[in-house]
């Protein structure tokens, strides 16, 4: 007869149901706890006590099973410059290392879009931009998807407490129905951040078209005094308290999003004279088409201005410092969970919305389709005991399969045994959490604005732009994407195969979803005709 929590079921039945007598350990299991109690028989209690006996015969996992909690952590603008991904040899990220050792690190993971708003709204709704028509930072995602049920809302609808802090959706484009509680508030999700010189930059001289937060400098604050620190503290307090429902708890860590203003101690970890610049190839852009050169020059040509200002090394220092600061924020959340009463029943998901470039291909920021921008962080740790994955996720699993942020929504629905949501665009990662080498044949599709696509498989990246120019990179021999093979006839069949994976009927980018633009904003192309018209108009400018 099976035993429950070290107590033999025979003992339970004997003590409560059998006629009065001493039941000693020598009579059944000598390695189990016995209950040598003299107990009278109570015939009237026999039906209820028989039920207790039946329950005691169930496996412990079935008796104690309860819906798992979710700790959902977003890190803004984080590329592969972390130790588990090896994107920069000097990056210091001990807490991401720690999580990678405890869960599964999806090392070939890609974003649905290289912009915060379309990527985050895709993650939170489960709809790829090509499904929703939500392609650009300069759209209102809720106008594009008025009926979409967000991830937090879906959990709320199925009995969860949903709360969060910081940037999960794009700034003030909030989703009140997603949350029961939020810090600083449901309507104002972003805390205040410190600016050393409000209204101007500290390190980077401004230029025409520059994003005003394109700057970096140490600040005289403690971790706890920063905006991210306050969000982490709020979420940590939520973890520490008891809950009468399972929870979906989100925390948006804003750094390393610009500006790279973090406490000085993080800059001190990267002495300026020893900072290594990204690996680049001279004339890397020579084999690229016109549209790729437009993207490189986007926003006024950041790279040439950074070089002119003598700030390349300083910028890399600022980004690395901000990455390590974000890692420290993650560490505080992991510590808070570990100390909480929920540590053994909480799924941890860490993701970044897209990558970033700091001079590779003479390009800065996001808004491109190359590896450094499309690749992003995703790690998942599942404790033992969930119905979908009783054994828990594979500790220290390094998954080399191509995955997407689109897979988060269906994976959490699966892991938490919520009703299947059949209209989602991603795939449940449960097979890969069980076995990171499990067969998997799902390419990652990334789209920049409308009609520009990247297709990533384990070997290849294929890019097709709105002007029909193409790029093809073989990652077995060219991980830096320095050699565009698209013009070589021997790769024509590969191009055709990859191009066939691009959605055939993508949703349009509707004009009524566009927001009012700020000076540094560049309106998205809505069609090939729109691109051609603007290109022609620009060519006739004096």
Neighbours of 259 (CB within 10 A): 25
Catalytic (active site) residue 116 = yes
- In degrees, rounded to 5, the angle at the alpha carbon of residue 499 between the alpha carbons of residues 495 and 503 is 170
Residue 358 bridge partners (DSSP):
364
SS3 sequence of 388-417: CCCCCCCCCEEEEEEEEHHHHHHHHHHHCC
- Pull the structure tokens for residue 26: 């020598």
| Residue 257, SS3 per DSSP | coil
| Residue 38, SS3 per DSSP | coil
CA gap 66, 416 in Å, rounded = 9
Catalytic (active site) residue 491 = no
Beta strand pairing status for 260-263 and 216-219?
parallel
Residue 438 φ/ψ, nearest 5 degrees: -60, 140
Question: Which of these, 144, 174, 126, lies nearest to 526 by C-alpha position?
Answer: 144
Query: Looking at 116, 178, 231, 376, which residue is catalytic?
Result: 116
Task: Tell me the chain's radius of gyration from C-alpha atoms.
Answer: 27
CA gap 405, 4 in Å, rounded = 40
Q: Where are the alpha helices (DSSP H) in 158-240?
A: 227-240
First to last CA, the chain: 89
| Residue 335, SS3 per DSSP | helix
The CA–CA distances, whole Å, from 135 to 139, 451, 454, 533 equal 8, 10, 14, 20
CA gap 149, 158 in Å, rounded = 12
Residue 171 φ/ψ, nearest 5 degrees: 50, -120
Residue 71 bridge partners (DSSP):
249, 348
- Pull the structure tokens for residue 469: 């120019």
Say if residues 5 and 61 touch (Cβ distance below 8 Å): no
CA gap 383, 348 in Å, rounded = 9
- In degrees, rounded to 5, the angle at the alpha carbon of residue 378 between the alpha carbons of residues 375 and 383 is 165
Query: Looking at 95, 128, 170, 450, which residue is catalytic?
Result: 170
* Catalytic residue IDs: 116, 170
């Amino acid at each position: 007869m099976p035993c429950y929590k070290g107590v033999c079921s025979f003992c339970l039945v004997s003590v409560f149901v059998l006629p009065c007598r001493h039941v000693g350990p020598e009579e059944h299991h000598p390695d189990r706890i016995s209950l040598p109690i003299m107990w009278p028989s109570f015939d009237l209690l026999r039906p209820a006590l028989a039920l207790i006996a039946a329950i005691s015969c169930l496996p412990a996992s079935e008796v104690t099973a309860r819906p798992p909690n979710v700790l959902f952590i977003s890190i803004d603008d984080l590329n592969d410059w972390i130790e588990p991904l090896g994107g920069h040899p000097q990056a210091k990220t001990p807490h991401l290392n720690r999580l990678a050792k405890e869960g599964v690190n999806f090392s070939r993971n890609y974003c649905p879009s290289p912009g915060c708003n379309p990527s985050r709204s895709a993650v939170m709704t489960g709809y790829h931009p090509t499904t929703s028509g939500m392609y650009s930072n300069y759209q209102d995602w809720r106008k594009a998807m008025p009926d979409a049920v967000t991830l937090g809302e879906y959990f709320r609808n199925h009995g969860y407490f949903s709360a969060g802090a910081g940037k999960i959706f794009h700034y003030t484009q909030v989703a009140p129905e997603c949350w029961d509680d939020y810090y600083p508030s449901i309507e104002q999700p972003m805390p205040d951040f410190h600016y050393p010189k409000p209204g101007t930059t500290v390190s980077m001289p401004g230029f025409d078209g520059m994003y005003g937060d394109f700057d970096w400098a140490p600040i005289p604050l403690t971790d706890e005094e920063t905006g991210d620190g306050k969000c982490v503290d709020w979420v940590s307090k939520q973890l520490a308290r008891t809950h009468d429902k399972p929870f979906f708890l989100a925390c948006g860590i804003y750094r390393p999003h610009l500006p790279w203003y973090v406490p000085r101690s993080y800059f001190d970890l990267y002495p300026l004279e020893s900072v290594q610049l990204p690996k680049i190839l001279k004339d890397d852009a020579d084999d690229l088409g016109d549209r790729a050169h437009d993207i490189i020059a986007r926003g006024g040509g950041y790279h040439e201005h950074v070089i002119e200002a003598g700030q390349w090394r300083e910028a890399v220092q600022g980004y690395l410092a901000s990455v390590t600061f974000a890692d420290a924020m993650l560490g505080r959340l992991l510590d808070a969970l570990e100390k909480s009463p929920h540590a053994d029943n909480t799924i941890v998901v860490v993701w970044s919305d897209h990558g970033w470039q700091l001079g590779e291909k003479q390009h800065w920021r996001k808004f491109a389709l190359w590896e450094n921008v499309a690749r992003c962080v995703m790690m998942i740790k599942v404790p033992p005991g969930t119905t979908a994955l009783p054994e828990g996720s594979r500790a220290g699993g390094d998954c080399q399969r191509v995955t997407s942020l689109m897979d988060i929504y269906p994976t959490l629905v699966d892991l938490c045994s919520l009703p299947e949501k059949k209209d989602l665009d991603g795939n449940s990662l449960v097979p890969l959490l069980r076995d990171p080498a499990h067969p998997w044949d799902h390419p990652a599709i990334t789209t920049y604005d409308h009609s520009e696509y990247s297709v990533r498989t384990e070997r290849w990246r294929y890019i097709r732009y709105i002007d029909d120019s193409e790029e093809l990179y073989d990652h077995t021999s060219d991980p830096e994407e320095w050699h565009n093979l698209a013009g070589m006839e021997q790769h024509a069949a590969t191009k055709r195969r990859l191009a066939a994976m691009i959605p055939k009927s993508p949703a349009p980018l509707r004009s009524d979803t566009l927001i009012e633009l700020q000076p540094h904003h560049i309106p998205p192309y809505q069609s090939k005709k729109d691109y051609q018209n603007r290109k022609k108009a620009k060519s006739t400018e004096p």
